[in-house]
């Protein structure tokens, strides 16, 4: 008997596309070797002898991708929410991130972060660490043990930050290479390094040029921040007068999406103030947008035109952006995406309709999951990342499946997760 084949039973929901759900009531979801083999209303004869786990009335949905989260900021979530980005970085973020030069502090803080991520609805994540190479490896060890599937980045910063965190340009490059070589030796299965220049204001042209070289040599993905705050965008214009826009500043160093022959998978958080040319460049280069609505509200950053991005065919996922966002619960990110889109439509630009539950669910599953490959759907061939949500406590009697999902998005949390699978492996 094929031991890597097993079957879950329940009500199955996934996104067919941006605006439509696919729903199979009380059906069988077959996992073969970590991948979805198919969905059946009644089990075909050749599968009858395999293990079936019956989750009864629970909902089976794809695991959720958090496209943007800062692990070291988990320890100060909820603080400084009366500030805007640049002041908040100086007052809260940099002092906290400095603590991660201590492996002892990092171990304690990262253990708490990883434990809570493991028990959250997130199955995949793009994670910022700090500039410290050793504690970044420690974080990666912990994430690998958790069974989650992640990209993790040692942050680069050689300007415009306090001296206690500022790297000398050459040290930043050396420390990145040391980190990458250590990670290679570890042979992690589910944890990959991702190049992480914090944002243009904190990386000199010289550093960016050298990171561009490292990207090519190691064939790395890239994560950073883009057009989040008006002052930040103005600052980048001053710092990089040679660039056409903020995105172009990354592009000119080869750190902004796919090049002609060499892939450089890139995710940029926020993209609130991207002008027409920047959006065109993101589209041409296949750059993923990590929409982080809670953070954008907390730091008074603004509201990204997500409906427009979706209609223009950009790749869009959701991010918690802890600690700009306060929670790692990605159901809340979905609800916030819907809520802020309504305010944008009402107060800012009525050309773009508010987002609905279908679009929010799509971004959190299939949209962001695409950064990891065939991830975020339960169609055959997708990696078997599955959440089993037991919403009995949310008064589900009399509700349609769609209504149940809507309520889950607004109200559910870790307590409603009955089981969680990543690549076919049961985490709990």
Q: Which residues bind ligand GUN (CB under 6 A)?
A: 70, 85, 89, 93, 198-199, 225, 228, 295, 321, 324
Closer CB to Fe ion, residue 269 or residue 363? 269
265 binds, among ligand GUN, Fe ion, none (CB under 5 to 8 A by kind): none
Among 74, 88, 63, 156, residue whose Cα is nearest residue 296 = 88
- Partnered with residue 30 across adjacent β-strands are 7, 38
Closer CB to ligand GUN, residue 55 or residue 94? 94
Closer CB to ligand GUN, residue 150 or residue 196? 196
Binding site for Fe ion (CB under 5 A): 269, 321
Quote the least distance from Cβ 273 to Fe ion, whole Å.
15
138 binds, among Fe ion, ligand GUN, none (CB under 5 to 8 A by kind): none
198 binds, among Fe ion, ligand GUN, none (CB under 5 to 8 A by kind): ligand GUN
153 binds, among Fe ion, ligand GUN, none (CB under 5 to 8 A by kind): none
Quote the least distance from Cβ 66 to Fe ion, whole Å.
11
Quote the least distance from Cβ 312 to ligand GUN, whole Å.
24
Q: Indicate the residue whose CB is closest to ligand GUN.
A: 324
Quote the least distance from Cβ 245 to ligand GUN, whole Å.
17
Quote the least distance from Cβ 84 to Fe ion, whole Å.
14
Closer CB to ligand GUN, residue 198 or residue 420? 198
199 binds, among Fe ion, ligand GUN, none (CB under 5 to 8 A by kind): ligand GUN
Closer CB to ligand GUN, residue 144 or residue 167? 167
Q: Indicate the residue whose CB is closest to Fe ion.
A: 321
Can you give the chain as a three-state secondary structure string?
CCCCEEEEEEEEEEEEECCEEEEEEEEEEEEECCEEEEEECCCCHHHCCCCEEEEEEEEEEECEEEEEEEHHHHHHCCCCCCCCHHHHHHHHHHHHHHHHHCHHHHHHHHHHHHHHHHCCCEEEEEEECCCCHHHHHHHHHHHHHHCCEEEEECEECCCCCCCCCCCCHHHHHHHHHHHHHHHHHHCCCCEEEEEEECCHHHCCHHHHHHHHHHHHHHCCEEEEEECCCHHHHHHHHHHCCCCCCHHHHHHCCCCCCCCCCCCCCEEEEECCCCCHHHHHHHHHHCCEEEECHHHHHHCCCCCCCHHHHHHCCCEEEECCCECCECCCCHHHHHHHHHHHHHHHHHHCCCCCCCCCHHHHHHHHHHHHHHHHCCCCCCCCCCECCEEEECCHHHCCCCCCHHHHHHHHHHHCCHHHEEEEEECCEECC
Sort strands 386-389 and 315-318 into parallel, antiparallel or unpaired: unpaired
Closer CB to ligand GUN, residue 62 or residue 293? 293
Contact 384, 37 (CB under 8 A): no
Quote the least distance from Cβ 282 to ligand GUN, whole Å.
17
Closer CB to ligand GUN, residue 198 or residue 416? 198
Quote the least distance from Cβ 249 to ligand GUN, whole Å.
14
Closer CB to ligand GUN, residue 294 or residue 359? 294
Quote the least distance from Cβ 239 to ligand GUN, whole Å.
13
85 binds, among Fe ion, ligand GUN, none (CB under 5 to 8 A by kind): ligand GUN
Quote the least distance from Cβ 143 to Fe ion, whole Å.
18
228 binds, among Fe ion, ligand GUN, none (CB under 5 to 8 A by kind): ligand GUN
Closer CB to ligand GUN, residue 255 or residue 422? 255
């Amino acid at each position: 008997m094929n031991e890597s084949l097993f079957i879950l039973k329940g009500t199955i929901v996934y996104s067919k596309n941006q605006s439509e759900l696919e729903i199979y009531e009380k059906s069988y979801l077959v996992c073969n070797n970590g991948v979805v083999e198919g969905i059946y209303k009644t089990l075909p004869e050749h599968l009858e002898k395999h293990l079936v786990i019956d989750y009864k009335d629970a909902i089976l949905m794809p695991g959720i991708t958090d496209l943007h989260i800062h692990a070291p900021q988990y320890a100060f979530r909820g603080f400084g929410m009366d500030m805007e980005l640049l002041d908040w970085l100086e007052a809260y973020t940099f002092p906290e991130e400095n603590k991660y030069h201590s492996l002892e502090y990092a171990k304690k803080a990262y253990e708490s972060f990883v434990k809570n991520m493991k028990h959250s609805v997130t199955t995949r994540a793009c994670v910022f660490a700090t500039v410290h190479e050793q504690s970044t490896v420690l974080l990666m060890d912990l994430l690998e043990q958790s069974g989650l599937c992640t990209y993790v980045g040692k942050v680069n910063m050689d300007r415009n930050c306090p001296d206690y965190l500022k790297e000398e340009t050459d040290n930043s490059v050396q420390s990145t290479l040391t980190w990458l070589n250590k990670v290679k030796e570890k042979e992690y299965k589910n944890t990959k390094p991702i190049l992480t220049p914090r944002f243009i204001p904190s990386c000199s042209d010289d550093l960016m040029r050298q990171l561009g070289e490292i990207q090519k040599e190691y064939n790395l993905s890239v994560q950073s921040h883009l057009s989040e705050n008006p002052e930040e965008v103005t600052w980048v214009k001053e710092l990089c007068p040679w660039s056409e826009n903020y995105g172009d500043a990354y592009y000119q160093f080869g750190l902004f999406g796919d090049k002609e022959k060499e892939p450089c998978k890139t995710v940029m958080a926020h993209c609130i103030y991207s002008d027409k040319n920047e959006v065109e460049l993101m589209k041409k280069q296949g750059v993923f947008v990590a929409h982080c609505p809670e953070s954008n509200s907390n730091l008074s950053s603004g509201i990204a035109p997500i409906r427009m991005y979706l209609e223009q065919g950009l790749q869009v996922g959701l991010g918690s952006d802890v600690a700009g966002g306060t929670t790692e619960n990605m159901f809340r990110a979905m609800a916030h995406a819907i809520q802020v889109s309504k305010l944008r439509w009402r107060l800012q630009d009525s050309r773009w309709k508010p987002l609905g539950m279908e679009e929010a669910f799509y971004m959190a599953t299939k949209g962001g999951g695409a950064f990891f490959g065939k991830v975020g759907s339960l169609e055959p061939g997708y990696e078997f990342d599955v959440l089993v949500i037991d919403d009995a406590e949310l008064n589900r009697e009399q509700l349609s499946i769609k209504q149940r999902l809507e309520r889950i998005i607004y109200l559910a949390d870790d307590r409603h997760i009955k089981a969680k699978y990543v690549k076919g492996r049961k985490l709990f």
